A = this chain, B = another copy of it.
Amino acid sequence: MKKFLNDPVNFVDEMLEGIYAAHPMVTYVNDDLRCLVTAKPKAGKVGLTTGGGSGHLPTFLGFVGDGMLDGAAVGGVFQSPSAEQMYQVTKAVDQGVGVLYIYGNYSGDIINFDMAAELADLDGIAVKQVVGNDDVASSIVGEEHKRRGVAGIFFIYKAAGAAAAEGLSLDEVARIADKARMKTRTMGVALSSCVVPEIGHATFSIGEDEMEIGMGIHGEPGISRKKLGAADAVVDEMMERIFNETDYKSGDDVAVLINGLGGTPLEELYILFRRVRQLLDARGVNLKHVWIGEFATSMEMAGASISILHLDEELDRLMAAPANTPFFKHVTG
C-alpha cells in the first residue's frame, strides 16, 4: 500500500486536523472533528448540510463555504457518519429558518439522516431532505430511486447553495435542489481499484487492460467489464447511456462536470471532455458551464465520471453565482 499515513486508524481525524489547520473558513462543533461547519454562518439563511463517508475529497466536506454548504457530518472511510453527528451539525447551522439535507443515496446515510431529522424536529428545527441519485449505471429507468448518488451531487450543492445565498426559503431551496437532482445524470468508468487505509489492499482486482463501466465510487460493481478502448469510444458509450434517458434538444443548455476519481491525470480528463463537447455540439446542445477536475473521488482509483445537468433559466443563474469554499471557488465574470 503506497500511502502517506501514520496509524490507519487515525486517517480521517488526521486528515481533518489538516483541513482545520489549512482552512480557517471551516470549524467544528460539539468537540467532534467530524462535525464540520462554516466558521462564517449567515444570519437568516437556510442551512445546508451534507454528510457521508470519507475518502471522496472534495466530496463531501470540501464544499462547505460561501455560496455552497454550511455543514458536513464526516464518516470513516466509506462509512456513514452517525445520526448524532448529523444532528449536531444541524443544530449548529440552523439560523431559525430551517435546514436542508443533501446527501447521496446510501442506506446508512439515509437511516442516520432520517434519525437526525427526527431529533431536529423535537427541537423545532424544520428539516427537508434531497437525496442524490444521479448514477445512471446503478439501476434501470423507472427505478431511479435505487440509484446511487455520485459526483453529480455537486450540481445539487451548487444550485441549492446559490439559492440559499440569495435568501430563498427552505421550501424554495428544497424545490430547486430537487429539480437539480432530477435533471442530473452521471456515468462513470473505473480503471483501477482504490485502497481503504484500514484494509490496506485493493478493494477489487481488474485486469491491466480492462475498464469497468458504471462502477460505484466505493467499488460497487458496474454494468460491464471490458477491454479499455480508445478514449473517444469510452465517452461515446457513457454518453449514449445518458442521452438514452434524457431529452436534450437542439438549443437546450447544459452544465457538464468531468470528475476524476483520484488517480487519473488531469490531462486525460480534458481528452474525455473534448469528446463530450463534440457530442453535445453535434446535437446543438449549448455548454453553459463546465467544471473539470476532482470533485468526488474514490481515494486513488483511476477513472472518471461524466455528469450532465439539464439547465433551465433558474438553474443557469444559480450555476453562475459565485462560490468560495476550501476546495471549490467560482469567480463570476
Residues in A lying within 8 Å of B, measured CB to CB: 2-7, 11, 14-19, 21-22, 54-55, 57-58, 191-192, 208, 211, 228, 230-232, 234, 262-274, 277, 287, 290, 292-294, 297, 299-300, 302, 304, 322, 324, 327, 329-331
Assembly CA distance A7 to B271 (angstroms) = 11
Given contacts A6-B231, A232-B6, contact A264 B300 (CB under 8 A): yes
Report the copy number of this chain in the oligomer.
Answer: 2
Given contacts A21-B277, A329-B330, contact A267 B2 (CB under 8 A): no
Q: Which of A2, A5, A232 has the most CB of B within 10 A?
A: A2
Assembly CA distance A15 to B204 (angstroms) = 30
Contacts of A232 in B (CB 8 A): 6
Given contacts A228-B2, A232-B6, A329-B331, contact A270 B18 (CB under 8 A): yes
Contacts of A268 in B (CB 8 A): 3-5, 15
Residue of B nearest to A5 (CB): B231
B19 near A270: Cβ-Cβ < 8 Å: yes
Contacts of A322 in B (CB 8 A): 331
Contacts of A192 in B (CB 8 A): 2
Assembly CA distance A262 to B293 (angstroms) = 12
A-B pairs with beta carbons under 8 Å apart, 13 shown = A2-B192, A4-B264, A5-B268, A21-B273, A22-B290, A22-B292, A55-B265, A55-B267, A57-B270, A262-B263, A266-B294, A294-B294, A329-B331
Given contacts A5-B268, A302-B300, contact A21 B274 (CB under 8 A): yes
Assembly CA distance A17 to B267 (angstroms) = 11
Contacts of A287 in B (CB 8 A): 21
A17 near B299: Cβ-Cβ < 8 Å: no
Q: Which of A208, A263, A322, A330 has the most CB of B within 10 A?
A: A263
B274 near A18: Cβ-Cβ < 8 Å: yes
Assembly CA distance A6 to B230 (angstroms) = 5
B4 near A272: Cβ-Cβ < 8 Å: yes
Contacts of A191 in B (CB 8 A): 2, 4
Assembly CA distance A180 to B330 (angstroms) = 27
Assembly CA distance A273 to B267 (angstroms) = 25
Q: From B230, B234, B267, give the contact of A57 (CB < 8 A).
A: B267
- Since A4-B191, A58-B266 are in contact, a sample of 8 more A-B pairs with Cβ atoms closer than 8 Å, ordered by chain A residue number, is A3-B265, A4-B268, A15-B274, A18-B277, A18-B292, A21-B277, A329-B331, A331-B331
